[in-house]
Structure 1
Amino acid sequence: MTDMRGRVCVVTGANSGIGKATAQGLAAAGATVLMVCRDRARGTAAQQEIVAATGNRAVELWQADLASLSEVRRLAAELLAAHPVIHVLVNNAGVMLETRQLSADGFELQFAVNHLAPFLLTRLLEPALAAGAPSRVVNVSSRVHSMGKIDFDDLQSARKYRMFASYGQSKLACVMATFDLAERWQPLDITVNCLHPGVIDTNLGGMPGFVKKLLPKADKGARTSLHLAMAPELADVTGHYFSGCKEAKPSARANDRDVRHRLWAETERLTGIA
């Protein structure tokens, strides 16, 4: 196992599922782990379980609802103040919803949590990631991104909402942002990669209970996230999509530079980061 002692790692959505397994894997390797969780009680329970399982007491709980852009900004400011040097950011938090819901800012909730929040958090943490260089950003996307299409006329799925189409759009946006950011941050020695974790039993939602019981558990889903966060051979690898701890081919749409650059500009506008 890679020795992560002295490395500061942020994991969002860390109180359950793949996020918790990722946080535990990093803690087991000796990292200082900053667990970002929406629910403080569940986050505290997960934090205590990880400390007990790994013996690593450098596991911190940070509470924030990433569905709110003001909460993302507050979280980033507090993280920067407490940890001006960050080596790994794993954007793991995500949602899948059968019915259309809106975030606190009025955005479709899947688009807000799966794309806008990690985009904004990553950009705001740039000073700490640059200070920690060589550093890594790991974005958890999904194979479902191949079902997505960036509809600039209806980014918020207000006209027509279908769970997998809207989820796919949000995860395609995540992949596109990964590729763009990798190019922009290469001079900073910050790698940015994304991944499909596999079809895993998690609390993501949108999947019948009887199906979930047949799926692999979260620790298997965390393997690729941990590989991208820790593997020495990936130190200089950036702007790629992975599945099963191996580089995989993203959808053709993910490589459409015109759409990517338009989406980047629109995302900056929506998050107010421009």
Structure 2
Amino acid sequence: MMWTDLLCHPLWAASTVLLALVLRQQRRARWDPRACAVQLKGKTAIVTGANTGIGKFIALDFARRGARVILACRSEARGSEALREIREKSGNGDVHLRLVDLASMESVRAFAKGVLEEEEALHILVNNAAVSGLPRSITKEGFDLTFATNHLGPFLLTNLLLDLLKRSAPARIVTLSSLNHWRGEIDFAHFHGDKLTYFMDKVYNHTKLHNVVCTNELARRLQGTGVTANSVHPGVVVTEVMRHYSFVLRFLFQTIGFFFFKSPDEGAVSSIYCAVAEETDGITGKYFDSDCSLTLPAPLARDAALAVKDFDVCERLTSKL
């Protein structure tokens, strides 16, 4: 049972306390980015959704290591504020903002075109941006808004940048998934908003499963190229991903999270670990838990035949746009 179910259950209070006690033990990862001496001078990194939460702390860490960092954000105002803050805190002026709306394949293509024209190399791509709790909404390209933002947009972006990543090898692709992928289902009708139940984080769960499935298949296809691809669970983190939920749920989550859940900087650790740690060099097609440990994903995410089909479907859908 996940936190969204607990908050709706008559016994949510007692259950939440028990859950919090478990999560409290997992709050700190076994790997500390502050103790990692890896430098990224001369390296280029892209972080989506870098204007807030986990993404901003990932970008800040890369900037502190000397990387050229591209903040891929939807909001110019919020992206500009994050840009100013990251430059100030890191002392790195080589941090840049580029706008992209991952829900729009047209916007993704324009963003990727700009990167390919202006950047000589790309060593790290972190697919961080995601939304949850949105009501039913179909994009002008015919996709469910949550699926477009969380999966199809990042999927297309990654594929458009693959040649640049290969030329820059060794390179790493890190995609943020979630423990919630265990509760997800694979139904290709979901991409277009069909057969979906828009309640709490149900649609989010499905997209997070697709993240792991397609990342695993991408890793298989990238064997021998020097480019690795892994997915990570950041933990239960207090971020703005809850902004589309009701005030009551947001209040409860924020209140409980203040004491027991991870902060955004703590939630960024597993992604940073996959992106820069020497220990993860060469590891690909794996799923990392919030404490930076390799762990098995859900059974569906280990189905190789399903992965090939899912990847091919996503390729066909996004190649037409």
Q: TM-score scaled by structure 2?
A: 0.82
Is contact 1:175-1:194 (8 Å) kept? yes
- Consecutive unaligned residues of structure 1, counting only runs of 5 or more, are none
Q: Choose the corresponding residue for 1:4, options 40, 63, 74.
A: 40
1:144 aligns with 2:191: no
Is contact 1:6-1:31 (8 Å) kept? yes
Are the structure 2 counterparts of residues 252 and 202 from structure 1 closer, same or farther at C-alpha, using a change threshold of 3 Å? same
- Alignment identity in percent? 38
Q: Choose the corresponding residue for 2:266, options 186, 195, 220.
A: 220
1:14 aligns with 2:50: yes
Letter in 1 for 2:280: L
Is contact 2:87-2:95 (8 Å) kept? yes
Is contact 2:219-2:228 (8 Å) kept? yes
1:116 aligns with 2:152: yes
How far apart, in 2, do the equivalents of 1:152 and 1:66 lie?
Answer: 19
Alignment correspondent of 2:275: 229
Letter in 2 for 1:16: T
Equivalences, count: 274
RMSD, matched Cα: 1.5
Letter in 1 for 2:60: Q
How far apart, in 2, do the equivalents of 1:97 and 1:218 lie?
Answer: 19
Shift, 1:262, TM fit: 1.3
Secondary structure (helix, strand or coil) at the match of 1:104 reads: coil
Shift, 1:227, TM fit: 0.5
Is contact 1:67-1:104 (8 Å) kept? no
Are the structure 2 counterparts of residues 66 and 155 from structure 1 closer, same or farther at C-alpha, using a change threshold of 3 Å? closer
- Consecutive unaligned residues of structure 2, counting only runs of 5 or more, are 1-36
Alignment correspondent of 2:253: 211
Is contact 1:32-1:59 (8 Å) kept? yes
How far apart, in 2, do the equivalents of 1:258 and 1:185 lie?
Answer: 17
Letter in 2 for 1:77: K
Q: Choose the corresponding residue for 1:199, options 236, 243, 260.
A: 236
Alignment correspondent of 1:35: 71
1:72 aligns with 2:108: yes
Q: TM-score scaled by structure 1?
A: 0.96
Is contact 1:84-1:131 (8 Å) kept? no
Cα deviation digits, residues 102-157 of structure 1 (max 9, x gap): 22322111111111011100110012101110000000001110101101344434
Secondary structure (helix, strand or coil) at the match of 2:285 reads: coil
Are the structure 2 counterparts of residues 65 and 254 from structure 1 closer, same or farther at C-alpha, using a change threshold of 3 Å? same
How far apart, in 1, do the equivalents of 2:63 and 2:304 lie?
Answer: 37
Alignment correspondent of 2:5: none
Are the structure 2 counterparts of residues 98 and 124 from structure 1 closer, same or farther at C-alpha, using a change threshold of 3 Å? closer
How far apart, in 1, do the equivalents of 2:117 and 2:189 lie?
Answer: 39
Q: Which runs of 4+ in 1 moved over 3 A?
A: 153-157
Greater shift, 111-120 or 146-155, is seen at: 146-155
How far apart, in 1, do the equivalents of 2:59 and 2:140 lie?
Answer: 27
Q: Choose the corresponding residue for 1:125, options 161, 174, 189.
A: 161
Q: Choose the corresponding residue for 1:248, options 295, 301, 304.
A: 295
Are the structure 2 counterparts of residues 104 and 24 from structure 1 closer, same or farther at C-alpha, using a change threshold of 3 Å? farther
Are the structure 2 counterparts of residues 160 and 126 from structure 1 closer, same or farther at C-alpha, using a change threshold of 3 Å? closer
Is contact 1:84-1:127 (8 Å) kept? no
- Which protein is richer in helix relative to its size? 2
Is contact 1:200-1:212 (8 Å) kept? no
Shift, 1:203, TM fit: 1.0
Shift, 1:216, TM fit: 2.2
